[in-house]
């Protein structure tokens, strides 16, 4: 009896301590992404752009929000532009899609306009799956295929931003120039001295 009562008190103390830790430190799941979520048709209605895109490269990252230059392959809904800027948060706990490796292809459910779009986990249908593309085609019709259109070159409208010359390239070129200059000056000096000596001997 005494042992059983002691065990019960111990369990109650452990439970109480656990509750107090959650109150003081916060429930861990509270830091995870939390959103209402859409079913498939609601997600279609909410999205400005539904398309399959290929991530080409990262343009910039500001306070965890990462913007990518992406090539659009097929479009079920929205702007039929060959390229877009696509943004999402690098942290999934902030409802972002996380870091997306270059060359990755993904189906995006995005909000935005005029070539600039963003998305989160909350934009994805809660009942989505591997057959999303087939379901989209059933509901919206065949997607626009943009793969036969050329991808704009850097500097052209819709093309990727021109990348600045990396610092290491500038430093390497400067070092090479200084090195060549350092070799050239002594060489010229030697040639001039040699000529002067030859003239004196004459």
Give dist(CA 11, CA 57) in Å, integer. Answer: 54
Secondary structure, 3-state, 65-104: EEEEEEEEEEEEECCCCCEEEEEEECCHHHCCCCCCCCCC
Provide the residue ranges of all domains of the chain, joining segments of one domain with +: 2-31, 40-145, 166-191
Instruction: Write down the pLDDT at residue 157.
Output: 78
Candidates 63, 147, 167, 44; CA nearest to 105 is: 147
- Give the whole-angstrom CA distance, residue 199 versus residue 28: 89
Q: How confident is the model at residue 121 (pLDDT cuts 50, 70, 90)?
A: very high
* pLDDT band at 22; cut points 50, 70, 90: very low
User: What are 4-20's pLDDT values in tens digits?
Assistant: 444 445 444 434 444 33
What class has domain 40-145?
Answer: mainly beta
- Which of 19-28, 126-135, 192-201 tops mean pLDDT? 126-135
Is it the case that residue 95 has pLDDT exceeding 70? yes
How much is the pTM?
A: 0.66
Give me the residues paired with residue 86 across strands. Answer: 68, 117
pLDDT recorded at residue 155: 83
């Amino acid at each position: 009896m005494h042992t059983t009562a002691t065990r019960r008190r111990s369990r109650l103390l452990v439970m109480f301590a656990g509750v107090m830790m959650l109150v003081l430190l916060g429930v861990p799941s509270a830091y995870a992404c939390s959103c209402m979520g859409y079913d498939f048709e609601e997600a279609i209605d909410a999205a400005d752009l539904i398309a399959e895109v290929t991530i080409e490269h990262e343009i910039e990252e500001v306070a965890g929000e990462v913007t990518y230059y992406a090539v659009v392959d097929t479009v079920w809904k929205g702007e039929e532009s060959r390229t877009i800027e696509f943004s999402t948060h690098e942290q999934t706990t902030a409802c972002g899609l996380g870091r997306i490796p270059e060359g990755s292809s993904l189906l995006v459910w995005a909000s935005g306009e005029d070539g600039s779009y963003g998305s989160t986990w909350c934009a994805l249908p809660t009942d989505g799956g591997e057959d999303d593309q087939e379901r989209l085609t059933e509901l919206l019709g065949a997607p626009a295929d943009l793969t036969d259109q050329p991808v704009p070159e850097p500097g052209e409208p819709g093309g990727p931003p021109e990348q600045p010359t990396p610092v290491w390239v500038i430093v390497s070129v400067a070092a090479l120039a200084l090195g060549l200059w350092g070799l050239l000056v002594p060489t010229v000096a030697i040639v001039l001295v040699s000529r002067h000596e030859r003239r004196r001997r004459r």
